[in-house]
Each structure stands twice: as C-alpha cells, then as structure tokens.
C-alpha cells in the first residue's frame, strides 16, 4: 500500500476541486466556495498556484495547494492555501507526506518561510502542526475585502 507524491497537473483539477469542496464542508463553510472549476483551470494555467497530490494505486487521496508570495521582512515565502486528505485515508501518514512535500517544494524554490491558516476549533490540525514544530501565532488578525461580491 504505497503512497506516491507528484506535482499536480491540469487533468487533476476536477478532483482537486472536489477535495476543496469536501474540506469546505468539514470546515462548515460549503456555501462559501465561489470559485469554479473553470477558475481553477484558468488560474493554474496562469501559474497562480501549484499543488502536489498523494496517490494510492493511481487514485488521488490527498492534495496540498500552495503559491509563492513575499514577506517584506523575510523575503520569498510559500503560502499553503489548502491541505486535505480524503476522509477514508486519514490517519495513515498521508498528511505528513504531503506536508513534508510542500516544505520540500518551499526549500527547492528558495523560500525562507512557509505560512498557512488553521481554524481555532480544528484541534486535529492544530495538534498536527504542533507536532511539526510550527509556530501558531495569536497576535495577528486576518483581514480581507471581497472585490466581487457574490
């Protein structure tokens, strides 16, 4: 039962979109997914994001989607946008493989920092990040403005 990591391809996007919807349901926000599969295809083609997938027997069982950004204080940075393993494949070490894969991508792309967000009630994820020696900040508040109201 071997797990294989590889860089994502355009042909993977329908399954990635499905995984993101699964994640949104888990995070109690399924109604907030407004990006379409067409948006995913366009933005992937434009190089707006990258992703890696975990495969088991040629079936995608998890993914991590990320992109490059910049910290004026630190320099080049990787932002981990979404990171999910299918429900039936959790607790098998696949999440750790994906997380390590993104860290490798960040190092390979000469990033000095990787950042992400985690919901304050998502105890399993918080514990996972703590096991990976992550710094979970509590002094920064997230800000956002929607430019195209739904």
Total domain count, the chain: 1
> Does a structural domain hold residue 63?
yes
Out of 9-23, 34-48, 104-118, 133-147, least confident range: 133-147
- Is 144 within the bounds of a domain? no
Residue 108 pLDDT grade (very low, low, confident, very high; cuts 50, 70, 90): very high
Return d(Cα 109, Cα 91) in angstroms, integer. 29
- For residue 13, being part of any structural domain is answered with yes
Q: What is the pTM of this model?
A: 0.92
Domain residues for the domain of 107 are: 3-131
Residue 140's pLDDT band (cuts 50, 70, 90): confident
Average pLDDT of the residues in 32-40: 95
**145 is a domain residue:** no
- Position 37 in a domain: yes
Kindly indicate the confidence band of residue 1, based on its pLDDT and cuts at 50, 70 and 90: low
Q: How many CB atoms lie within 10 A of CB 19?
A: 23
Q: Is residue 149 domain-resident?
A: no
Catalytic residue, candidates 26, 40, 70, 129: 129
Is residue 25 scored above 60 in pLDDT? yes
What's residue 150's pLDDT?
Answer: 57
Over residues 78-106, the mean pLDDT reads: 95
- CATH number reported for the structural domain that contains residue 47 in this entry: 3.40.630.30
For residue 143, being part of any structural domain is answered with no
Does residue 96 belong to any structural domain of this protein?
yes
Is 129 in the active site? yes
Of 109 and 141, the one with more pLDDT: 109
């Amino acid at each position: 039962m071997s797990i294989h990591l590889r860089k994502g391809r355009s042909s993977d996007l329908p399954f990635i979109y499905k995984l993101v919807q699964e994640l949104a349901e888990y995070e109690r926000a399924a109604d907030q997914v407004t990006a379409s599969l067409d948006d995913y295809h366009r933005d992937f083609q434009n190089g707006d994001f990258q992703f890696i997938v975990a495969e088991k027997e040629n079936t995608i069982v998890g993914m991590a989607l990320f992109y490059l950004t910049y910290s004026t204080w630190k320099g080049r940075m990787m932002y981990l946008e979404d990171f999910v393993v299918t429900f039936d494949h959790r607790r098998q070490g696949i999440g750790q493989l994906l997380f390590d894969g993104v860290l490798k991508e960040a190092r390979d792309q000469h990033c000095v920092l990787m950042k992400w967000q985690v919901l304050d009630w998502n105890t399993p994820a918080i514990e996972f990040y703590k096991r990976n020696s992550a710094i979970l900040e509590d002094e920064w508040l997230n800000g956002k403005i929607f430019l195209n109201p739904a």
